[in-house]
Amino acid sequence: MPNQPISINLDRMVDAMLDTRTPHYWDPKRSKIVRGSSELDDDRTRRVLIDTIGKRKFKQLTDGFAKTIDPKDGKLVQDAVKGSFDKFNRLLQKRLDLKKAWIAFAGEELMEAAVDWLAMQGVEEFIATGEIARLAVEDDGEDDEDLDDDEDDEDEEEEEPDEEEDAEEEEEEEEEEEDEEELEEDDEDFEDDEDEDDDSEDDEEE
């Protein structure tokens, strides 16, 4: 029986990478994220310290985020960041509208960082859970819909030239028919002229 893929809450993994004060560890044996040394047992060798994104990168993200929201909320975010990640996280838990906006702003970048870190630990196939993962799936669905719409537009654009080509072909056929009719009329006129010439010659001979 094949092994079922493990489930990993990417929200917790991202929190671990954002928290520059408290260390977090990845326990590969239990596929679990452990926060702080107080939760460590004697078997520390099996646990891997999770890399953080760094204070500078975290500040860049939060400063950029603060500029995209209401100025009052932006000040709340910046004040929370000055305290600690826990304070910032508590603000997001309290203000779900800000949490949703934060995930929309930085979620994709942070999720990619978490997935890349797990891949370096040999964890490449897993079931991603958490709000960040859910939002990513929703965004992918919207992107697929946009792609389908673009393809439909391209198909319509491709069909329009065909209609123009058909119209051009019809015009060419009509012109050819008119040319043929003119040629036939010219031939008839030419034959009439020949008949008249023959009649004139006969009259002269008489």
Rounded distance between C-alpha atoms, residue 76 and residue 81, angstroms: 9
49 φ/ψ angles, rounded to the nearest 5 degrees = -65, 130
What is d(CA 28, CA 87) in angstroms, rounded to the nearest whole number? 29
**CA–CA distance, 84 with 72 (Å, rounded to integer):** 19
pLDDT per position as a tens digit, 156-188: 555 555 555 566 666 666 766 666 666 566 555
Give the bridge partners for 26, in sequence order: 33, 48
Neighbour tally for 6: CB within 10 Å: 13
pLDDT per residue as tens digits for the range 91-138:
999 999 999 999 999 999 999 999 999 999 999 889 999 888 887 666
What CA–CA distance (Å, rounded) separates 4 from 149? 36
Q: With bands split at pLDDT 50, 70 and 90, how would you rate the model's confidence at 40?
A: low
Output 95 or 191, whichever has higher pLDDT. Answer: 95
User: What's the rounded mean pLDDT across residues 22-49?
Assistant: 78
φ, ψ dihedrals at 132, nearest 5°: -65, -45
Query: Taking a C-beta distance cutoff of 8 angstroms, is the pair 24, 36 a contact?
Result: yes
% of the chain with per-residue pLDDT over 70: 60
Model confidence at 148: pLDDT above 70: no
Average pLDDT, the chain: 78
Q: Indicate whether this model's pTM tops 0.75.
A: no
**Residues 12-43: b if buried by 16+ CB within 10 A, e if exposed:** bbbbbbbbbeeebbbbeeeeebbbeeeeeeee
